[in-house]
Amino acid sequence: MKKLLLLLFLPLLFSCESEKKENDLDKLKLKGNVKFISIREYNATDKFGEITKVVPSNWSFFTNKEKIFNANGYLIRQNNFSSQEIFSSMYVYHYNDSNYLINKDYFDDDIKLSSKVIYKYEKKGDLLYENHYDENGEIDYKYQFNHDENGNKIEWTKYDNEGVITFKYKYKYDSTNNEIESIKYDKDGNLEFKYLSSYDENGNKTEWGKVDKNEDEEYKYINKYDANGNKIESIKYNKDGELDSKTIFTYKYDKHNNWIQKIKIDDEIPVSIQERDIYYYNKKPQEEIAEILKKEFLKDSSNFYNGKANEYVESKDYDLAKKYFKKAISYNSNNPKVYYDRSEMNYSLEEYDLAIEDCKLAINNNKFYKNAIYKCGMSYYSLKKYSIAIDLFNDCIELKSNDSYSYYWRAKCYQKLEKHSLAIDDFSKSISIDPDDQYAYYNRALSKYKLGLPFCDDLKKACDLDNDVSCNIYNKMKCN
């Protein structure tokens, strides 16, 4: 773990002030000396005339991130989170003394190095190529770039691990170096499609569209921006030039004019709310970044030992697993994933009370942790506490309305409580989400039988899906 701590501080050590060039804060249009930003995305609804957030968006794993910047405005670390707001991976960025990115390391949720990117530059500073390596240190693929005299990227070529071209892009620019054309070619050099763009005097992309290889337009966006350069309207037109959709964005800003809330409205329907917590450097940036990275080290240590614990669970060495779970908690007692993973172990050992205890700790540290709520429900079901389990499966469905497993197990609870009409409803919802679930058909057939309803079709469907019990009952009941 000492090596990991050194790894986290290397980006800081190699981030010296040198030539002035566009940094990551500039690229992200962030104003002020930002040191840390946390981004979360939620589904939105109109409640009492006010747009409010509800639960995390199913697509929030694209946006849920934490970004850490050094005092020169360069990104040195990015933490990625799942749609349940659980740490899933991270990037660590390393720079040379001229603030050029020289490599990027990708770590999984157990803080294991999964891949690495190495960057090489021309003498004048233009990026020449990126080599992407897998977890074994072997080349996975390579990007090669060409630039014009203004430093604009004019070619981007991808090669596979054997040096064979996969695709190529070519770019064109206007007189102010805005990219106006992006052309993609396949591995054989055949044109696939083009992206065409135009800009206003502030460099905002006001038009963006795609045309196919025959120059026929597939779609086009027309965009508007506010005084801060943030997109406030985006209208999409289809290939026939007809209106396809209209998206409106509204913002709230902090005192630095960085947005801290973005609401997305599609065709007058609230879709999502993104929230950003932004923190700024004060007077002692070196001490501040050291304090941030120290906290990250503790979180990383917790995730690392949690990974070790799971390895011992897999090998069924539960005593060592418990030891490493405890060690993971000692580094970060607020890590919900450790409690959840330990609950999984306890559940598999039929220690349901311990599983419930750990699930509750996980939920206390993350109310959106659906997996933990679900495991808690399963544990109560195993203890035959069906009413409590139903409440927990309700919570799961509220967080994810298309969760077939929660509908299925809530139906099983209703079935145990002899509430077969409710069970049938939930089995039907589960089947509508997962029409290949043999057990849902079988159990729906049982509840229909209890209510004197026709059930043979469900048995036949379960049998067709290789449910042997259903096949036997189907034949015995002479359903055919």
Give the whole-angstrom CA distance, residue 256 versus residue 5. Answer: 32
Give the length of the chain.
480
The pLDDT of residue 296: 95
Whether 411 maps to a domain, the answer reads yes
Whether 168 maps to a domain, the answer reads no
The pLDDT of residue 13: 45
Whether 344 maps to a domain, the answer reads yes
The pLDDT of residue 5: 47
Whether 148 maps to a domain, the answer reads no
The pLDDT of residue 2: 52
Whether 308 maps to a domain, the answer reads yes
The pLDDT of residue 353: 98
Walking along the chain (480 residues) 10 residues at a time, the average pLDDT comes out as: 51 48 92 96 92 89 94 96 95 94 96 97 94 96 96 97 97 96 97 97 96 95 96 97 96 96 96 97 89 94 97 97 98 98 98 98 97 98 98 97 96 98 98 97 96 94 92 82
The pLDDT of residue 21: 78
Tally of domains in the chain: 1
Whether 429 maps to a domain, the answer reads yes
The CATH number linked to 342 is 1.25.40.10
- Residue 114 sits at φ, ψ, to 5 deg, of -105, -30
The boundaries of the domain holding residue 317 are 292-476
Whether 215 maps to a domain, the answer reads no
The pLDDT of residue 14: 44
The pLDDT of residue 139: 97
Amino acid at 372: A
Contact (CB, 8 A) for 413 and 393: yes
In Å, how far from its chain's centre is CA 103?
23
Question: Where do we find the tokens 């506010």?
Answer: 226
Whether 147 maps to a domain, the answer reads no
- Residue 202 sits at φ, ψ, to 5 deg, of -95, 5
Give the whole-angstrom CA distance, residue 121 versus residue 353. Answer: 58
- What's the pTM value of the predicted model, to 2 decimals? 0.90
Question: Which of 431, 443, 480 minimizes the C-alpha distance to 460?
Answer: 480
